[in-house]
Structure 1
């Protein structure tokens, strides 16, 4: 019994050992142990929260990984903020007093970190509204197309068609013009323009364009392709072939395959694609020659 009491006294003495004084406030081993235990509990809570959310989404057949990620991210940040406040309290500091005494510092930081705060607010908006989700194919205002790989509070990560990873501030996704090609019904319409020589059989041109589009594996069978005779151009009769596809990410490859097919069919049917022509007319005029 005395030995157990002695061990407990040693543990208590060790926990009461003062490590550092900050502004007249002492931090002991006890405070450090409490914060470490709090950190472990937070990690367990975060892992459990993520597991529960993904399980519930799977049960409800909501397979949208983007929304699941958004819920998990927001929940994690809330847990971490609560944990940070509890850690300050565990060290024996009064959070209310700290906030009041640091108000001037927060104001200065607010002016200096306006862009960062704007990105943080934009990140929260993105995660809550779900307009841009993980796996979406988006086109930025500068014409760059990429797949959203990650959405954090301040920045998002995109992977372009060239395999380049881009870190984009979330404020750009909120404030700039962004096209989200991954819409709700997953089908998006695209078109390819082509001109043929004057005098060509326009009905045959229409037939060949439709055949070329319908033969592509990536073209949707739900909505049939169609052709528009858009204009009498300066050097050609101008057409557009419209088609729907789910393969937004590889659309440029699909367009290329369609152009190859159109060119082959036109050659087989003696339909020529003209190049721009200009007619120049010269007028002769007699100029006096000075001796």
Structure 2
């Protein structure tokens, strides 16, 4: 390179001083000018992602500029020749550690940018909700990439490691197939956008709860009884999951009620709508309404339909509506019928067995013995 050739033309100590001065000066310039200017710019933006990125990039950027001088010195032949050690030893003592430190700093920064960015987006609400499994996958990718890069810097032959990793991977795959299935199940759930943290879900088994954590292996639900239920991701990926919070959190409430035949239906429907409108848990829009569903055996079966803001309020809203319907019907004199049956009991009549003579009362010629009085005992 022309730059290295120009440095070789200088006296070794002059070349070393120049390289170190340039690298340290560049690091100082980046800290005092570039970083400060960038900080003033990001404070004017509406998002906080750029502030997170700048905060994490600051240290590796300045350190990389400062350590660049150390790495370049190991490539200047005049400086290497002036040091009473071999060039390979000088590079191993200064160059490789400096380069390794730069790689580790940038790997840490990239991992923190993504993880903090995911946390920031989660705090913004459901629109920017990211599954935590994304952070876990990214951390794993950065870790593997950093390890491979460091081994390459130190000229470590990774071929035996790759062969051993293949054998270990097969062994671990068989031994931990459930864990692997849960991991890929979590990834599939994330990309399918089945649910997010904070959603109220209902499982195929009938369990319901709010999603409080989505991990690599399992998903944790908080039930209405404040009990934590941990479900493996592979199970969730293979079963039916009803997300009560999607696509919107509002949910419709159904309150069935039966009234007697002959009831004034116009007055009944107006009364049911008024009951729903007076309930604070019920939303004003969409408006409450009622429908006649069926002509039952003993009643006209109606259904009051209204909406609540969250699926977790549905049970409480049904309770309040049923109480209000009961009280208002009693006050208005509206009958809530129940099944009635008319049972007729026939009068007792003697059966054929009651008047038939017993075998002991029959003579040998088949005539009835007149002395037998039918078992009266007389």
Give the TM bin, normalised by the shorter chain.
0.7 to 0.9
5+ residue gaps, structure 1, are 1-8, 10-15, 17-29
CA deviation string 1:188-246 (max 9, x = no partner)? 22211111223322222212211111222222222112111111212222111111222
The alignment's TM-score, normalised by the length of structure 2, stands at 0.59
Q: Which aligned pairs between 1:32-43 and structure 2 lie closer than 5 A? A: 43=108
Structure 2 residue aligned with 1:267: 330
More helix by share: 2
Q: Relative to structure 1, is the Cα distance of residues 169 and 54 closer, same or farther in structure 2, using a 3 angstrom cutoff? A: closer
Q: Relative to structure 1, is the Cα distance of residues 95 and 273 closer, same or farther in structure 2, using a 3 angstrom cutoff? A: farther
State the Cα RMSD in Å: 3.5
Separation in 2 of the partners of 1:56 and 1:250? Answer: 27
Assess if the C-alpha contact under 8 Å between 2:121 and 2:128 holds in 1: no
Q: Which has the higher contact order (CA 8 A, sep 6+)?
A: 1
Separation in 2 of the partners of 1:233 and 1:121? Answer: 51
Q: Does residue 1:207 correspond to 2:270, yes or no?
A: yes
**How many residues end up aligned between the 2 structures?**
262
Is the deviation greater in 62-71 or in 217-226? 62-71
Separation in 1 of the partners of 2:244 and 2:202? Answer: 8
Structure 2 residue aligned with 1:159: 222
SS at structure 1 position matched to 2:354: coil
CA drift of 1:80 comes to: 3.5
5+ residue gaps, structure 2, are 1-84, 86-91, 356-374
Greater Rg by CA: 2
Q: Does residue 1:289 correspond to 2:354, yes or no?
A: yes
CA drift of 1:62 comes to: 7.0
More strand by share: 1
Q: Relative to structure 1, is the Cα distance of residues 85 and 52 closer, same or farther in structure 2, using a 3 angstrom cutoff? A: same
CA deviation string 1:158-198 (max 9, x = no partner)? 10101011111112222111110111233322211111223
CA drift of 1:257 comes to: 0.9
The alignment's TM-score, normalised by the length of structure 1, stands at 0.75
Q: Which aligned pairs between 1:34-113 and structure 2 lie closer than 5 A? A: 43-53=108-118, 64=127, 66-67=129-130, 69=132, 71-83=134-146, 85=148, 94-113=157-176
Q: Relative to structure 1, is the Cα distance of residues 139 and 272 closer, same or farther in structure 2, using a 3 angstrom cutoff? A: same
Separation in 1 of the partners of 2:333 and 2:101? Answer: 79
